[in-house]
Structure 1
């Protein structure tokens, strides 16, 4: 995409500068176009990476845009495309995701839409707490919980994939009390950015415990 964007910009800028008289303009325009597109897509990719992994990338800007009601639809569509890519890689590799996600514990969480009744799958980081898998509804510091949180509140039976294993689980929302604090601190120990997300969001970030319905699930 950056190269295509650079080529398009090269044509436009090159035409305006008259390539016949200034042949170096094409190279300059191509370089500028490629750089602009690379930065643009890099920022989008950084946002998605932040949402999934909790990396300390300056994503709170998006949270402020959401709280101001700006650009949410476009951002959500783009993030859905990123989600689809990592979900495809996750399933093809039976839970193994390469690149910047290598080494992180990811699961695929499928919830039933609270309003639509349709299944929705999201890649989410997790930690183990005994037989349970623990996830947090940080939403990268946005003031509102992620959509999957409202889905599992309405339909607490969810489908989870860990590695190549697919199983049903019961989702328990833990939004207050000592257990919530203990589990949240355990996640913060792995991903320190979660503490900043809670401050930025201005809300208590809920913790969700996923308990497999069948013995040995997620084992």
Structure 2
């Protein structure tokens, strides 16, 4: 899997929202995207809390762990399709403009990561990878999961939007009449896939699916 158009960096940070990251990973792999996975230390704490998932030590072991997770869900994983890199692995392709995927999603994105990326910090591989995508005029999607937001958070989002990033707060809609938590997760993941230009059948399209009730507009 060496086609640059089928590569994407998925950064997972320490905000609440582990189910969003897992579902997005499932969908990316199912669509034969090669995924460079970057997981912060805080994200591992969140996964243990929200998913009772304990990541093993080492990047290769983590990649094998994620592959086994997906295969247990019936998703075929190709060789080297999931690659995991450590926080200071500066020789990762994601760290260089000459090798990094042109697309990156930070899902979920903590306000700490939001701040670092907005101010151009590159103290970790996640921060450097985001900086690379921005400087190379690639596509950066940021999925914050925090509320309420104070002025500093909003200023950081504005700054990133002004340099081309797409800010997609994890704010699921309800017009699809969700029945489960998975339905709410799918709503957010579907919108991310839309912006990545990838196919999705997680939710129906507005105006093309059966929706009922008022839109709230007269």
TM-score by length of 2: 0.28
TM-score by length of 1: 0.28
> Where is the strand percentage greater, Structure 1 or Structure 2?
1
More RCO (CA 8 Å, sep 6+) = 2
> Where is the helix percentage greater, Structure 1 or Structure 2?
1
Larger radius of gyration between Structure 1 and Structure 2: 1
